[in-house]
Homo-oligomer: A and B are copies of this chain.
Amino acid sequence: MAKDRKIDMVILGLLAHENLSGYDIKKRIDQSISFFWKGSFGSIYPSLSAMTREGLVEKVEDSERNGGREKINYAITSQGKEALRSWLEDSRAVNDMKYETLLKLFFGGVAEPQISINNINAFENEVRESLHILKFYQDNLSKVLNNPDHMYYYLTASFGVETYEAYLRWCTKARKMLEKENKK
């Protein structure tokens, strides 16, 4: 992977809006972008250390600490903002998928069709659930499109809705084909 650290951009992007701790960053990732990007503590904390050393972020006082245990808050620096911008302005982007469901389906021929049907059903259930949540986000965001930031969030949510609905259409077609095969 050598010399890239995409997690840096995730963190810088989030810090561009508000100061956050490593724990907060993880929460934001899980809540808002996890359907198209994930991040673990094992990459977040080392990235914060590295970026502090490199001057892209800096530690700030834990203001408004009303209870809860002490936390280390980070702020983006002007250098960090520059790094974020130049990444944004570079239209090259790597979109990397790992669909274990498709991997199993691709090799489905070594087992009975029913096995593949089960795998598709499990996938479909997960997708249905996530789609529900995504639609809820999309709906809420559609009401605050006057705020430019929210428009960007709305567009990513819409991407999710559009693709997840495509997944479900495919599930129906694929299952039909496999059930036909199963009856042979």
> What residues of chain A have their CB less than 8 Å away from a CB belonging to chain B?
6, 9-10, 13, 16, 32-33, 35-38, 81, 84-85, 87-89, 91-111, 115-116, 118-119, 121-123, 126, 148-149, 151-153, 155-156, 158-159, 162-163, 165-167, 169-170, 173-174, 177-178, 181
Min CB distance A130 to B, Å, is 10
Q: How many copies of this chain are found per oligomer? A: 2
Q: Lowest 3 CB-CB distances: which A-B pairs, in order?
A: A13-B107, A166-B166, A93-B100
| Cα(A123)–Cα(B81), bound, Å | 24
List of B residues within 8 angstroms of A121 by Cβ: 91
| Cα(A174)–Cα(B110), bound, Å | 41
List of B residues within 8 angstroms of A111 by Cβ: 85, 88-89
Min CB distance A176 to B, Å, is 11
